[in-house]
Structure 1
Amino acid sequence: MNTAFNGRLAILGMGYIGLPTAVVLATRGVEVIGVDINPRIVEAVSRGEVPFVEPDLAIAVSGAVAMGRLKATSETPEADAYIIAVPTPFNGDHTADLSYVQAAAEQIAPRLRQGNIVVLESTSPPGTTARIAEWIGALRPDLKMPHDGEPNADVFIAHCPERVLPGRIMIEMITNDRVVGGLTRRCAERAASIYRVFAQGEILLTDAASAEMAKLVENAYRDVNIAFANELSMISEALHIDVWEVIKLANRHPRVNILTPGPGVGGHCIPVDPWFIISAAPHISPLIRAARNVNDSIPHHIADQVAAKAQRFRSPTIACLGLTYKANVDDIRESPAIEVVQLIAKALPEVDILVCDPFVDTVPKTLADLANVKLEGVHQAVDRADIVVLLVEHEPFKAIRHTRLGGKVAYDTRGVWR
């Protein structure tokens, strides 16, 4: 069955994935209702505005709202299909916090009718999609759920993980292949009809648990490879070798492709998803756990190195360039740059720490209580600093002339000033 969805669709969660998904569907003729518990987001979308930075998204949201195809609300409406795109953070023990997913399922349950589709897009441990069927089934015993392979279910439940890169979401949302895993084959087919509305890439049908695991594996694979690069950087530093030169030379081998090191790993996916695999099989995942430990240790290593360099000065000023988790976006979720700043500020409480980021206009909450951390413009911060620490390769930072860094200690964690 290759028909595209044609009905009313509600998306729960208007964040970095939910809102772009709503827009690509709405601009292709689907009536979309965006649902979010944050009134600021609901108000912004209702005005046709975007509550975060993502290239090409603002114009698309404005157009979708102007056409009357996209509306926003805090109440879950009746619809023909529902997409759950809420956060899935981890708990203190690194197990998945599924409270937002469960809350979304419970909001959907009273609205469901026979023939409705429910798709989980939030990255989740294997078995979460089946749990959605259980949560909904407990509230709606009148509906036949598709768990246990029920071939004649009243509701179709599936998992379709997002796999886009911030900064390229509006492109990759359309061009990337999609994995759609259903609790039954029929569930996968019905869910795939939603993505056929806009997806140009191949739509791959599978079971729900395999789709859940595939997304986790994608990010765990990247995490392991980043950990290798980061460990190389620490080894090279200890041996007084230029790690960037080593990687450049090693990558000339036709079957070697080492990634670039950095100040750690950030964003919602890569620092989180490997833990979902580890928690599912804790005794047989030592490599994935080791990679997580390496990447989590990098901010501490960098902070220690900066604190050591500060001992050369009587009363130094330190400029930390970048707060987001990656270049040229405003996303600070799980940002290692923020952790580095926090660790330096706590290690050197008498030292002024000037932070600057062209995409961040207020000091993040985790730094707000640190009296020695101040937000500053990039040129003012660099000019005042004795030590300049590059944490994010934003374009304005890459454009800083070497003459401006003259006489200062420059600690480049991204290798852009070599």
Structure 2
Amino acid sequence: MNKTISVIGLGYIGLPAAAMFADKGVQVIGVDVNQHAVNIINQGKIHIVEPGLGEMVQKAVANGLLKAVTKPETADAFLIAVPTPFKGDHQPDLSYIEAVSKALAPVLKKGDTVILESTSPVGTTEQMVEWLAAARPDLKFPYENRDEEVDIYVAYCPERVLPGQVIRELVENDRIIGGITDECSNKAIEVYSIFVKGDLVKTNARTAEMSKLTENAFRDVNIAFANELSLIADRLNINVWELIALANRHPRVNILQPGCGVGGHCIAVDPWFIVDKSPDLANIVRTAREVNDNKPNWVIEQVKQAVEKVANFANKKTNEVNIVCYGLAFKPDIDDLRESPALAIAEKLMDLYPNQVKAVEPNYNSEANHSEKEIALLDYQDSLSKVDVAVLLVNHKEFVENKPHFGSNVVVVDTKGIW
């Protein structure tokens, strides 16, 4: 019986999951090393932007069903949703999972379920078992292909939600449940059955890990095709947006829309985990990553040309040209800056054009996001009278619904094809 559930990592995935369990009447202990986030949550507030989440957290805290702490406490089930970035030449960094394993081990008791949700390279869940077992030799942990009785049940269950739709998708989306053993899968299914209405599909841990990487690599490859098309179309003086619209009239063609790159902690990172495990085989996956990683450089070159153009026809020096970047988040209508190509472009432009670059980001949340450079933010409408080069990087609804009417003295670099 899962009377108390602990969610470790109270970010964009962990906090909504914690709120969802609490909404079903389960006692939830949220854990995060960020004391500021813990304090905010315990006040019944949230430190991220996600529609509907604030009300759920406020209700859960008020009802005494959700509390946040900085160190793991005793519970019946533990969900781990911490970052898994890469380091060096795209090698996976599992230090967060290792740290959680060592912090969690002392509070484990017989019968507990531990579920890893963090997007991870194949074999990570088994590695987590090794870390836990080393710290708690008094407990029996599961190992694949062994049917012996165990004290702790361990499984992998990747999240697959869309920022801005997390509350709905947590409930409705199917979930892949990859236990170290079949019984581990069953225990994890008991946990997710508390609120998930989608199918709970059983497999093993390694396949579950690979399924998440496969989903994101598939999307990355398709985005890379669109981004590469945009480069080719530009060289051939073809409107890529019209080109894609025409090609998509074929009943079996569905080309995605190009952009300024690929961001977020999933699609921009996860394919490298596949490459790391099988570098001699993952040729398409690697190439797609390289295409998407290089797209921001191409955008910057477009901005350089635009600056020169403005300087020439306006009779200005290049250091007098005002550049405004529209959008900093990694995708529309969210506040998440993780791995954002738009943010990277803005920061690079600040290096190239000191004191000339400003930004408009209607979803910016200073509590949740910190860039390496302080970017001056403008109000959308105010920016329109202060811009020489307008760089549209993210198709936020504000930019789509209220398209600006620039004069002939403004050069637009539109990476989304909406202006």
TM range (shorter): over 0.9
1:124/1:212 contact within 8 Å kept = yes
Q: Does 1:334 align with 2:330?
A: no
- Counterpart of 2:102, as a letter, is E
- Counterpart of 1:400, as a letter, is N
Query: Which residues in structure 2 correspond to 1:129-148 (within 5 Å)?
Result: 129-148=125-144
Q: Deviations over 1:65-118 (max 9, x none)?
A: 111111111121011111111111111221111111011111111111111100
Aligned partner of 1:101 in structure 2 is 97
User: Quick one: distance in 1 between partners of 2:55 and 2:97?
Assistant: 29
- Counterpart of 2:323, as a letter, is I
Compared CA separation, residues 321 and 131, structure 1 to 2 (3 A): same
Aligned partner of 1:403 in structure 2 is 405
Q: Deviations over 1:337-365 (max 9, x none)?
A: 0111122222334x611211111265943
User: Quick one: distance in 2 between partners of 1:236 and 1:395?
Assistant: 26
User: Quick one: distance in 1 between partners of 2:332 and 2:405?
Assistant: 23
1:237 to 227, 234, 238: 234
Displacement of 1:294 in angstroms is 0.3
- Counterpart of 2:295, as a letter, is I
SS state at 1:181 partner? strand
Query: Which residues in structure 2 correspond to 1:116-131 (within 5 Å)?
Result: 116-131=112-127
Compared CA separation, residues 360 and 198, structure 1 to 2 (3 A): same
Aligned partner of 1:393 in structure 2 is 395
2:372 to 339, 363, 366: 366
Aligned partner of 1:80 in structure 2 is 76
- Counterpart of 1:317, as a letter, is N
Compared CA separation, residues 303 and 79, structure 1 to 2 (3 A): same
Q: Deviations over 1:32-86 (max 9, x none)?
A: 1000111111111111101010000000111111111111111210111111111
Aligned partner of 1:68 in structure 2 is 64
Q: Does 1:221 align with 2:218?
A: yes
Percent identical among aligned pairs is: 46
Query: How many residues are paired up?
Result: 408
Q: Does 1:32 align with 2:38?
A: no
1:291 to 288, 302, 310: 288
2:325/2:360 contact within 8 Å kept = yes
2:335/2:365 contact within 8 Å kept = no
1:307/1:348 contact within 8 Å kept = no
Aligned partner of 1:89 in structure 2 is 85
User: Quick one: distance in 2 between partners of 1:308 and 1:347?
Assistant: 13
User: Quick one: distance in 1 between partners of 2:413 and 2:144?
Assistant: 56
Aligned partner of 1:181 in structure 2 is 178
TM-score scaled by length of structure 1: 0.95
TM-score scaled by length of structure 2: 0.95
SS state at 2:28 partner? strand
User: Quick one: distance in 1 between partners of 2:2 and 2:107?
Assistant: 18
Compared CA separation, residues 364 and 143, structure 1 to 2 (3 A): closer
Displacement of 1:405 in angstroms is 4.7
Displacement of 1:150 in angstroms is 2.9
User: Quick one: distance in 2 between partners of 1:344 and 1:72?
Assistant: 39
Aligned partner of 1:166 in structure 2 is 163
2:306/2:413 contact within 8 Å kept = no
2:359 to 350, 355, 361: 355
2:194 to 192, 197, 200: 197
User: Quick one: distance in 1 between partners of 2:240 and 2:323?
Assistant: 24
User: Quick one: distance in 2 between partners of 1:69 and 1:212?
Assistant: 31
Displacement of 1:406 in angstroms is 4.5
User: Quick one: distance in 2 between partners of 1:347 and 1:406?
Assistant: 24
Q: Does 1:323 align with 2:328?
A: yes
- Counterpart of 1:284, as a letter, is L
SS state at 2:10 partner? coil
2:81/2:116 contact within 8 Å kept = yes
Displacement of 1:404 in angstroms is 3.7
1:318/1:353 contact within 8 Å kept = yes
Gaps of 5+ in 1: none
The worse-fitting range, judged by mean Cα deviation, of 388-397 and 254-263 is 388-397
User: Quick one: distance in 2 between partners of 1:165 and 1:189?
Assistant: 26
Gaps of 5+ in 2: none
User: Quick one: distance in 1 between partners of 2:298 and 2:353?
Assistant: 15
Aligned partner of 1:54 in structure 2 is 50
